[in-house]
Amino acid sequence: MTASQKPVLLTGASGNLGRMLAAELSARGHSLVLTDIKPFPDPLPEGARFTTVDLGDGLAMMRIAEGCQAILHFGGVSVDRPFEEVLDPNIRGLYHVYEAARREGARVLFASSNHSIGFHERPSGNAAKLDADCAFRPDSFYGLSKAYGELMGRLYWDKHGVENLNVRIGSCFPEPVDARMLSTWLSFADLARLCADFIAAPKVGHAVIWGASDNPATYWGTDHRDRIGWQPQDSAEAFREQVGGKVSGNPVTERYQGGAYCASDYSRAGPSPRETFALD
């Protein structure tokens, strides 16, 4: 069996993005192994099989990854939640994913998030946009788990040669719903193309891609998309008239790239310093 014939493991398959990716990648001819802690709610795509697995069960993750060429890791807590709810699926579960990848010689696409860098301020005017090698500035325990996940990929690449791509997803919805998403929106179609390009790429190494469509108002600059040949084809700009005036009115939400995640439980009297290690 050649690498292109080996199946692809998709975690978090029962979520909104997982269901979309299962359908899109199956239509592209990929054999899929789907898993989630919740049942798969749709008819199984052709050539796919589904198994209920808890990410915290290391042995089960090892078994389900057997023979897979790649793991698309979309499982775990996907929103801002308390630390104890994030800990097991997003920290321990990710370790199990990477151990499975190491054993199988598989590459990993990690669904990271813009919330790993959410406390960077939004650029204005001619201000420089963030490049992929910017400092982590997580805006929540969820964002902190995503920063940890990217560092896990760095470790497994340096120590074990496990190729991995960290996709810092902005806002992946059918359409933008507010003004912030004019900068952060990632269309379903662009995400599906990104995952397909990742699977097909000859070499990935350790890489980071900003997960956003071709949005002129983007907060983000250079990344490693050339590694996989991905170019987004959609743009949030078509929705500017519809959502351009939809802002929160919260000064913390509107100041930082992470939006409402930054404002949640925010207890500072004033803004966080612009520089990572600056004094107030």
Catalytic sites, residue numbers: 142
Count of residues in the chain: 280
In DSSP terms, 111 is beta-bridged to 167
Closest CA to 131 of 5, 199, 218, 236: 218
Strands 70-73 and 8-11: parallel
SS3 168: strand
In DSSP terms, 11 is beta-bridged to 35, 73
Q: What tokens does 136 get?
A: 């982590």
- The answer to whether 221 and 131 have CB atoms below 8 angstroms apart is yes
Tally helices (H) and strands (E) across the chain.
Answer: 10, 9
Closest CA to 55 of 14, 16, 113, 12: 12
Strands 32-36 and 107-113: unpaired
Q: What tokens does 109 get?
A: 């696409």
Instruction: Label residues 41-51 b or e (16+ Cβ within 10 Å = b).
Output: eeeebeebebe
- The answer to whether 143 and 208 have CB atoms below 8 angstroms apart is no
Distance between CA atoms of residues 254 and 267, nearest Å: 16
Residue 239 has a CB neighbour count (10 Å cut-off) of: 18
Q: What tokens does 278 get?
A: 């600056």
